[in-house]
Structure 1
Amino acid sequence: MALTPSEADALLAAVIMDPVARQDPPATFRRFHADSPIWRSEYGMTVAARYRDCLEVLRGPKWGRAEADMEMPIRFGGERDRKVNVTSMLLMNPPDHTRIRGLVARAFTPKMVERLKPEIEAIVEPLLDDLAQTDSSVDVMTALAVPFPVAVISALLGVPGDKGKDPAFVQQIRDLTTFIDSGASAADLERGERASVEVALYFNELVEYKRSHPDDAMLSALIEVEEAGDRLRHEELIINSILMYAAGFETTSNLIGNGLWAFLRHPDQLQAVREDRSLLPSAIWEILRYDSPVQINARFALEPVELNGELMPRGHNVMVLQGTGNHDPLAYDDPDRFDVRRFTREGVPQPLSFGWGAHHCLGAHLARAEGEIVFDKLLDRFQTWELAGPPPVYRSHATLRGVESLMMRFS
């Protein structure tokens, strides 16, 4: 029996806001797929929970972002701090989005990621050395899942290593994600605003330094890059560097943490990968599908467009439930089962986790490579993986999904 819009809205609010519902979202996903795969919310937007509708909106050229300026305090030439309006490519539509994405995308191609793999392996090894020397339990989020991708994106962008190791700086970057959290409290947003001041000032200083002290990292390359006479403006460099830095580790750290927790709950799947490492690429895709690091996205109709037989007017907002679409029984057999072999089979659709179309995650290849490397190395190093504390609690965030901490013991 179809849910009323009010009932569907209440279920959605629960899976976003309720700590208990957040622990087991597939239970809510099943209700959506059975009773309300797409509905017109009482808040005026349409909500898409079915894989095919999510995919259509994410990749359709008639759907885009609601362009909005983000104010950032940036210091120029000794002047007092002042706010300038600048938009990240995350909030842009073509042609501006195409221009900026084209200037930065070359650093994230599969070929470039392949060249980076030896450096990525060199970054993870010392962290695993520390794990091997720990006799007691350890929080793998703080010991591995966060510092590893932070170090990788720091090296890629050219952020000094000691800055990436500063817990306060990393927390400030994570605080910026409150701006994409539809469940954020006023206190959360205030914390994010304070963080944006400090982070913007830091990257402004870093860009200025790189202008006179260029290196072979990506930020220096972006300062110099020119295509068809086009360069990134100073403000564009700053906000998009912040975006790449935050996106460059947040999704990957959640991929690692969610993956470890999935393997702990499904030891037969861990054993399957241990015995056949060729399953690792499929296993990473399955982690991304089963417990997606990104749960929700939003798109707006750039012109009148039909969705599920209904004409959506220009400007209409659709909330795309990526995590729910990844559990659609019409797209995946036995969708609530964690199956590391799933993506070795023909015809299995790619998860929605990295988005699709013009806004497909730039760092998708990098994140998957990091995931494959870290799990491969963990399997090499440790025969036993054990939960060493209570089941983890997921972070309070509507858009991003990851565990707060995960106490484990390796031997």
Structure 2
Amino acid sequence: MSTDVVPLTDQEADGLLASTVLTDEGRQDPYAAYARLRAGGGRWSTSFGDMGLAGYHDCLEVLRHPRMGRPEADMDLPVTLSGRAREVDEDRSASMLFLNPPDHTRIRGLVSRAFTPKRVEELRPQIEELLTPVLDRVADAGGGDVMAELAIPFPVAVISELLGVPREGNEHIRPLVRDVTAFIDAAADDEALDRAAQAGIELIDYFNGMIEEKRANPDDRLLSALIQVEEAGDRLSHQELLSNTLLLYAAGFETTSNLIGNGLRLLLANPDEMARLRADRSLLPSAMWEILRADSPVQLNNRVALEEIELFGEVRPRGASFIVLQGSGNHDERVYPDPGRFDVGRFHEGDAPPPLSFGWGAHHCLGAHLARAEGEIAFGALLDSFADVQLDTAALTDGRLHYRPSFTLRGLDALPVTVTAA
């Protein structure tokens, strides 16, 4: 910590966090506020829980702690950053995103084999094939909005193929998936939550229909395999099947689309790094980690103590809750020298620890290997297909890129580009 920075009081830290999460100005660029939170101590008692955490090692300790997890119905939880009461919804709690062991372990075990590194590597040729028509459309148009034309359609095609959901004709559910993510967003207001509730009803109807279709006409995809488990009656209830199918579909493209969009924005803003990556494709794996570190698609998480524990020098009761600022931990100067610099080779030699973007511990992102592979394939193909990619400033209403009005999940509204074929 710099000795010339005055530590923040708990109230000041809460005010800075709230203004970052709840204002458009704060959400557009949270990184200066993160730096101030770290310089001010990086750990504070918060009125939105027991403790807020902004440093890498503190965030990591909570994320990977075996006795930390998701809120349970009997816990007395503080209000959210937006001032609403925290509740444990029984329908949503069937999703492994909101579950603790042993149910979380049971359900995760049923689907994890589809996302192992070995399985993802086997899928690479198929993933590359799904990308080809997407890039062809961008080439034919001479560019376009990367979010609408590439960053969303490509991962949607991949997760649809994996699950066995139709790749075409389901465009109407993509905005519903985006709406329903308000349930996990720290910045969500009442209007966003109302849209999320309506979107949830429509998504449940869609996936119930899809499940019935797969019951009648099973295939060799993941959804049919999960239905067979559910029908066995001893491992997966219908509500668990429905909730986790929706989760896999939503998580399978929402965060990956933001990885692609945020990553291309960083490369466009750092043309020397794009040229470096173009000249040395062995840097692609490192570049994916650096994108995840520099502008993480997931900025914030919450954990609660599942039993009384000792943490950070104090005994914490069951239900003690922690705000984990993963996006800040990824910029911790004590872990990543010069964190504001975008460096596609930062992780190439394996010296830098992985960023916190995929979480850690029991809730480490199930699709982390798939997301990184999709990113490597997408950026490699972009560099192969186009000799030049430029931001289309004429397509921006005020000359600036804008992030969506959400905080937990960070992604651009649009990313217009022009391209020149290789």
- Pick from 9, 13, 16 the counterpart of residue 14 of structure 2: 9
2:93–2:99: 8 Å Cα contact kept in structure 1? no
Q: Is 1:22 aligned to residue 27 of structure 2? A: yes
List per-residue Cα deviations over 1:288-343 (Å, max 9, x = no partner). Answer: 00000000000001122233223222110001000000000111111111111110
Q: SS where residue 235 of structure 2 aligns?
A: coil
2:382 to 378, 386, 389: 378
Separation in 1, partners of 2:53, 2:328: 9
1:273 aligns with 2:277: yes
Residue 144 of structure 1 aligns with an amino acid whose one-letter code is: L
Cα drift, residue 221 of structure 1: 1.1
Segment drifting more, 19-28 vs 311-320: 19-28
Alpha-carbon distance in 1 for matches of 2:18, 2:37: 13
What is the one-letter code of the residue matched to 2:165?
V
CA distance in structure 2 between the aligned counterparts of 1:235 and 1:226, rounded to whole angstroms: 10
Q: 1:129 aligns with which of 102, 118, 136?
A: 136
The letter for the 1-side match of 2:147 is M
TM-score, length basis structure 1: 0.93
1:238 and 2:247 are equivalent in the alignment:
no
Which residue of the partner structure matches residue 308 of structure 1? 312
Shift of 1:281: 0.1
Pairing 1:203-214 to 2, within 5 Å after superposition = 203-214=207-218
The Cα of 1:43 is off from its aligned counterpart by 3.1
1:391-402 correspondence to structure 2 within 5 Å = 391-402=400-411
Q: After the TM superposition, which residues 67-82 of structure 1 pair with which residues of structure 2 at under 5 Å, given as runs?
A: 67=72, 70=89
**What's the TM-score, normalizing by structure 2?**
0.91
Partner residue, 1:258: 262
- Equivalent residue pairs, number: 396
Secondary structure at the counterpart of residue 115 of structure 1: helix
- Counterpart AA for 1:380: D
- Percent of paired sites with the same residue: 56
The equivalent of 2:413 in structure 1 is: 404
Alpha-carbon distance between aligned partners in 1 of 2:190 and 2:355, rounded to the nearest angstrom: 33
Structure 1 residues 324 and 86: alpha-carbon distance in aligned structure 2, compared to 1, 3 A threshold: closer
Q: Deviations over 1:267-295 (max 9, x none)?
A: 11101110000000000000000000000
Partner residue of 2:47? 42
In 1, Cα distance between equivalents of 2:327 and 2:311: 19
Is it true that 1:153 corresponds to 2:159 in the alignment?
A: yes
Compute the displacement of 1:86 (Å): 5.4
* Stretch deviating more after TM superposition (328-337 or 371-380): 328-337
Matched, 1:359 2:359: no
Note the C-alpha offset of 1:217: 1.0
Q: Secondary structure at the match of 2:201?
A: helix
- SS of residue in 2 equivalent to 1:342: coil
The equivalent position to 2:107 in structure 1, one of 97, 100, 105, is 100
Distance change >3 Å, CA 294–CA 86, structure 1 → 2: closer
Deviation at 1:42, TM superposition (A): 2.5
- In 2: Cα distance, 1:264 partner to 1:307 partner: 42
Whichever residue aligns with residue 414 of structure 2, its letter is S
Report the CA distance shift for 1:370/1:44 in structure 2 as closer, same or farther (over 3 A): closer
Most deviating of 41-50 and 92-101:
41-50
Instruction: State the SS of the aligned residue for 2:196.
Output: helix
Is the 2:120–2:369 contact (alpha carbons within 8 Å) kept by the matching residues of 1?
Answer: yes
Is 1:8–1:36's contact at 8 Å kept on the other side of the alignment? no
For residue 80 of structure 1, what is the aligned residue in structure 2? Answer: none
SS of the residue 1:343 aligns to: coil
Q: Is the 8 A contact 1:103 1:227 kept in 2?
A: no
Contact 1:302 1:314 in 2 (8 A): yes
24-33 or 249-258: bigger deviation: 24-33
* Aligned: 1:138 with 2:144: yes
CA contact (8 A) 2:45 2:52 kept: yes
Q: Name the amino acid aligned to 1:35.
A: G
Q: Which runs of 5+ in 2 are unaligned?
A: 1-5, 74-87, 394-398
Contact 1:53 1:307 in 2 (8 A): no
CA RMSD, Structure 1 to Structure 2 (Å): 1.7
In the alignment, the residues of structure 1 paired with residue 230 and residue 247 of structure 2 have an alpha-carbon distance, to the nearest angstrom, of 20
Structure 1, residues 108-128: CA drift from partner, whole Å, max 9, x if none? 111111111111111111111
Distance 1:217-1:346 versus aligned 2 partners, 3 A rule: closer
Q: Deviations over 1:129-161 (max 9, x none)?
A: 1111113x5111001001110111111111112
Question: How far does the alpha carbon of each residue in 1:84-106 deviate from its partner, in whole angstroms, 9 at most, with x for none?
Answer: x7521111111111001001111
Counterpart residue number, 2:124: 117
Match of 1:89 among 66, 75, 96: 96
Distance 1:346 1:202, change over 3 A: closer
**Which secondary structure does the structure 2 equivalent of 1:383 belong to?**
strand
C-alpha distance in 2 between matches for 1:304 and 1:228: 37
The alpha carbon displacement at 1:225 in A equals: 3.7
Deviation, 1:216, is 1.1
Deviations 1:63-96 (A, max 9, x none): 1111355355xxxxxxxxxxxx752111111111
Q: Distance in 1 between matches of 2:200 and 2:149?
A: 25
